[in-house]
Amino acid sequence: MLNNETKGIPVIDPNVQYVGVSKLRTLNAGKLQSLDKTWVIQDDDRPLAVILSIDQFLEMQKERNALLATLESIFTEEDRVALVAALRGSQSGNTKPDTEVRGTPKKGGNKRPK
């Protein structure tokens, strides 16, 4: 799913260009080598595919691998299994309101000091 929002805040990326399927007909090796934007190919405003440079792809893989290495150093296998189960549960709507988890907030309990 393509989503240009992070926590409800729109993200505008000047390196992403939305183009129609007809743009694929103009591509050749030279144009692909000089591609400086990520293209989201769409048909009738429905995203179908993404074209990006190999350098962008390799940078994404590098970031992904660094993130996975960090997570592996922080979490045990048991933690990872529990986290995946919790994420799957939240995606399927298996959630509880925070008042049920944390209890009813106490009146004036979180006041900032003046």
User: Are the C-beta atoms of 83 and 75 separated by less than 8 Å?
Assistant: yes
Instruction: Please give the residue range of the domain that contains residue 16.
Output: 1-52
Same domain, 1 and 43: yes
Distances (CA, A) of 92 to 17, 48, 86: 32, 25, 10
| pLDDT tens per residue across span 50-107 | 999 898 899 999 999 999 899 888 888 898 888 888 888 888 887 777 777 777 666 6
Residue 59 is predicted with a pLDDT of: 93
Residues 48, 17 share a domain: yes
| Whole-prediction pTM | 0.54
111 belongs to a structural domain:
no
| Same domain membership, residue 42 and residue 15 | yes
Q: Express each pLDDT in 2-60 by its tens digit.
A: 455 556 677 778 888 889 998 888 889 988 888 888 999 999 989 999 999 898 899 99
φ, ψ for residue 24, nearest 5 deg? -60, -30
Verify that 3 and 41 share a domain, yes or no: yes
The answer to whether 35 and 19 are in contact (CB under 8 A) is no
Joined together, the tokens standing for residue 23 give 């743009």
Examine residue 112 and state whether it is found in any structural domain, yes or no. Answer: no
48 and 68 part of one domain? no
105 domain-assigned: no
Residues 41 and 58 occupy one common structural domain: no
- Give Cβ neighbours of residue 52 (< 8 Å, ≥ 6 apart): 35, 38, 39
Q: Is the dihedral of CA 56, 58, 59, 65 positive or negative?
A: positive
70 and 41: one domain?
no
Total structural domains within the chain:
2
